[in-house]
Structure formats: structure tokens, C-alpha cells
Structure 1
Amino acid sequence: MSGQTQADSLDKLADDFWAWRAKYAPFTGDDVNRIERPGGLRDWSRAKIDNHRRDLSEFEARWKRLDATGWPIPKQVDHRLIGSALSRVHWELDVNPRWKRDPNFYIEQTLTPVVEALTVPAPYNETRSREILTRIENIPAILQQSEENLGDPPAPFATVAVQALDGVRDRLRKMATSLRPETTLNAKQLNDAADRAASALSSFCAMWHCCRTRPRNSWLWGARSGTGP
């Protein structure tokens, strides 16, 4: 493969990777990592995480097949930057896997998407209104998946999660009330979704509140035996 063809392949790899990354990258409260994302439901099930690993392996294989020797310096830099971006995904999945050890990760995956959707100035058209509703409705499912994923997180992580969710039901109700006139959604639709999200988040908070005061691993046993919160 010629150098120019390989450089073209790098561009294709970059396009494919960043489109994939926009769809599946974890949400974060850090503005530096904020990107435009396609709409729709998010999935943090074990099966989906395994799919992410397979996708990453395919991207890495494509990247390693590219020989940047002799490329123009800017293209060599691009090649290394894509390698760094791939390493970041590996870090998130397996080196520092917050998805299986930090309950705050799931607060970021549930509430941060809603916050990001609301950074666009109101009023919201039909498309944006539906996306806001989708993100609110997605909250219970993601928290259900967190129960499968989370192991035995350090107590400070649980403490921070409990503090972050203090008063979450009241906050979501106020959000729904303020948001309703700015969207195309009807009041019942929005309020019901917010109430379901608040119930799921409150249960999530209660679970980690109990975790802080129990011996390590005991909350897991209780949850699996039906005696947990």
C-alpha cells in the first residue's frame, strides 16, 4: 500500500473512530470532553461493554496495520493522536474501569446527558424535546444496568454519590415544571418521566447510603438474596 493510500486509510479510520466515539463515549462533567453526540438510548449493559471491547480491538488492528514511516510529519502526528485516542478507550474500559467500581460514573451517565441537552438555549423544537425526554426516560434502565456492573466500590465513592443525589427528586420535579413551557412535550409525559427517573435515582442513592455503613461486600449479598435495600 502506498504512503498516500495509507494516509487516506488513516483519514477513514479517524472518521470511523470518531463517529463511533461520539455514539458510545461516556458522558462526563468535564467541558473539555464535551462533544456533539447522536441522539437515542444509551446502554451500559455487560453485553454492550463487551461489544465496545471488540470494536476497540478492530480499530486497534486497523491502526497497527498502518505504517506511518515516511509520511509527512503532520500525518505522523495524526497517526499518533489516533493511537492515543484508542488508548484512552482502553483506559476507560479496563485500566480505570469506573463503570464497575464507581457509582458516580452512573450519575454522570444519567444526569449529565440531560444537563448537556439543556445547555442549548430554549425553546426546544420537537426533535430536541424528544431527545430531552429520551434522556430522562433512559435513566432507570442505566441504573438497572449499574447493579449488574458495580462490584465493591471504595466507601468514599459511595459517599460522594449519596451527596450528589441529595434532594434529587425535588430537583427533577422543579426541572420538569420549568422545562414544560419550553418544549413540545405535554405536562403528564414530562412529569411522569421525571418521576420515574427520580424514583430510580432515589433507590440508587439509598443503596449506596446503606453500603457506606455495611461491611464490604455485604450489600452485594443482600441485593442478590433479596434482603438488601
Structure 2
Amino acid sequence: MNKKSCLNCGHSISGEYCSHCGQKSDTSRITPHSLIKNDILGSIWHVEAKFFHTLKHISFRPGQTAMDYIAGKRIRYSNFISLLLILFGFNVLGYHFYEKFSPTEVLSEDILDIKNFFSKYSKTILFVIIPMLAINAYFLFKRINLNIAEHFIIGTVSLLGILILFLFDDIVSLIGLWKPVSKIFDFIDKIIFGLSVLFPAITYWNAFKKSYSKSGLLWRVLVLYVLMGVESTAISLILYAIF
């Protein structure tokens, strides 16, 4: 039996993929049928399925998703950092449309300055949340024996969940501009905001509920929120004073 060689690097292939470069072994000649089936439809389905699979798992089991990723189960998920940038872009776009269609508000100069500040530096403030969560959680959840980079992954998943909720909130806010349903959607908006505030707590609870007692996990999460509140306020005040 003749051994098959990889058409990309020339190494022998014994399975579906080349163990040296990772290319698939069935790279036959491109035909109109294979182009449509594998390259176009296959790529779109693969990217979309992975993207929505990741969003679903982060939304409903964020802590377990982070721990699975840390444990090495990564092929099923989209890259978290890339996903973070994509979701942030969608949020900026959603907020832009909301501002465009919402009634013009007459704001005082001080309120307008604060609004412009948070609009301009929202990206910086949001992305500072990840290292803050990682460092605080590293000391609060020492028993888990995760390093700072692994806590960074959990913090990233927390922020991804917040951005998913923010994006959903943008859609709700846009629908809420229609007067007949505005009260209902204002109520939904408040629920989503509450969930976004609680999402880091949900993430850490879901991740570490088997490693701590309920009381032990509760006080650690509460301390994490106190630290995050103090640090976020300090960073925002420093940025506002400087810029």
C-alpha cells in the first residue's frame, strides 16, 4: 500500500489531517461542485456555527465555558479575543443607530461632558475590566490554582457576556422607541441592565460552584464586586481628570 503524502508539506499522512502542517488529506482538484460545497458553503457554515455555538455557551454557561477552554477544549469555540472585538464593534454600531433614531435630549453642559467622556473612552474602560477581574480573582480564588493568564480567560468570558447583553439591550432600546411598546421595553431594558451587572458573578459562580461552599463563594464574589467598584471608579476619575 502506497503512503499518501501531504500536498502542502510533503510529509506522510496516516489520517484525515497532516500531523506536520494540519492540512486536510483530501485536497483533490477544485471543481465547481467542490468550490460551492466545501469552500463557500462549508466555510460559511463552519464559521457561523462556531460563532453562535460560542455565544450560546457564554450566555448560558459562562463559567463552565471558560473552564472548558482553560482545560484545553478549544476547537469547539471561536477565539475569545477576536469575538470580543467583533461584539464591541456590533455594540458601537447598535449604539450609533440608537442615538440616530432616539429623540434629541437637551442636556446640561456638565452631563454632556460626562456622556462624551464615557462615549470616547468606553473601549478603554471596558477592556480594563478584564485585567482587573483577572488580578482580583487570582487572589480571591487561590484554591483553584489557576495562573493569571487563565484568570484572564475567565475575565474575558465575563466581558463577552456583558457585551452580548449590551447588544441585546441596543436592539431592545431601538424597538422601545416605538411608543405603543415603549413601557414594556423600558422594563425589559432594566432587566437586561441588571443581568449585565450580575454577569461576572454568574460567571464565577458557574465556574467555581463545585470548588467552594455557597457561603465561601458568596463572600468572595461580593468582595470581587467591591474591589471592582472601587477600582473602576478610581480609573474613571483619573481618566476624566487627565483628559
Question: Does TM, scored on the shorter chain, surpass 0.5?
Answer: no
Given the two structures, how large is their TM-score scaled by the length of structure 1?
A: 0.30
Greater Cα radius of gyration, structure 1 or 2 = 2
